[in-house]
Amino acid sequence: MKTLTIRLTVVSLVLVISFGFPILAQQGAAEDDEFGPVVRAYLGYLRNEQEVVDDRVSRHEVSASYYRRNSNRIRALRQMAVRIARESRNDYLPELEAVAKDELGLLFERPPQQSRLKVGQVFKGTFRFLGTVRSNEIFYVFARLDPYEQAELREKGPTDGLNPISLPVAGSTALETRNRPSRPPR
């Protein structure tokens, strides 16, 4: 009885995805027209990642919880990428990492307390905290600093690597970035 319920759930997910995803993809493609080639490429990459996750769940290669977590992560990354692109009006995106509360240890040996995270803080000279995105669950989104930003931080002074560095943030958000030449996504 339990396997029948699981199979019906998976089949239902596949049907919803197969009928609903083309409509969402068309809406997403139309929305992407407002962005430059770098941002569009990143959003296309996220669509492809979602297709891979959808395919894996349809073949029963992954669990339903794995599917939900990764679909939510992709949605969170997309929301943050669109937000950055709209606020900065720049065809550049940093390398983004979205992790759930229980995954902060994947980025940090000693994860920071979620209650103490502040937008714009830099951790270990490598990641800038951009904010949280709720996509059925809360994801903490970080931008990996590029080598120029890391060098700039090193010039400003040593850190112990454990305490965050609060950097001045232009405007009211940490999402504004300096103009950079267009380059392909990583």
Predicted confidence (pLDDT) per residue in 62-109, tens digit: 999 999 999 999 999 999 999 999 999 999 999 999 999 999 999 999
Residue type, 77: L
Is 63 or 178 the better-scoring residue by pLDDT? Answer: 63
Residue 112 lies in a domain: yes
Whole-number pLDDT of residue 165: 46
Is there a single domain that holds both residue 46 and residue 119?
no
What are the pLDDT digits (tens) for 16-71? 555 655 555 455 555 678 999 999 999 999 999 999 999 999 999 999 999 999 99
| Residue 120 clears pLDDT 90, i.e. is over it | yes
Among 93, 115, 134, residue at a domain's last position: 93
Angle at 138 between CA 17 and CA 53, to 5 degrees: 30
Which sign does the torsion angle of CA 43, 31, 141, 88 carry?
A: positive
Least confident of 1-5, 81-85, 120-124: 1-5
The count of structural domains within the chain is: 2
Per-residue tokens: 179 = 């103009």
Query: Which range of residues forms the domain containing residue 89?
Result: 1-93
Q: How confident is the model at residue 148 (pLDDT cuts 50, 70, 90)?
A: confident
Residue 176 lies in a domain: no
Total count of residues recorded for the chain: 186
Is there a single domain that holds both residue 115 and residue 105?
yes
Rg of the Cα atoms in the chain: 19
Is there a single domain that holds both residue 57 and residue 113?
no
Q: Are 106 and 99 in contact (CB under 8 A)?
A: yes
Query: Rounded CA gap, 97 and 69, in Å?
Result: 14
| 54 CB neighbour count, 10 Å cutoff | 18
* E runs forming strands in the chain: 95-100, 121-123, 127-134, 138-144, 165-166
Whole-number pLDDT of residue 149: 87
Residue 106 is classified by DSSP as G
Among 93, 127, 154, residue at a domain's last position: 93
Bridge pairing between strands 138-144 and 165-166: unpaired
Residue 177 lies in a domain: no
Q: Are 128 and 143 in contact (CB under 8 A)?
A: yes
Nearest to 120 by CA among 109, 130, 112: 130
Is there a single domain that holds both residue 47 and residue 116?
no
Is there a single domain that holds both residue 29 and residue 101?
no
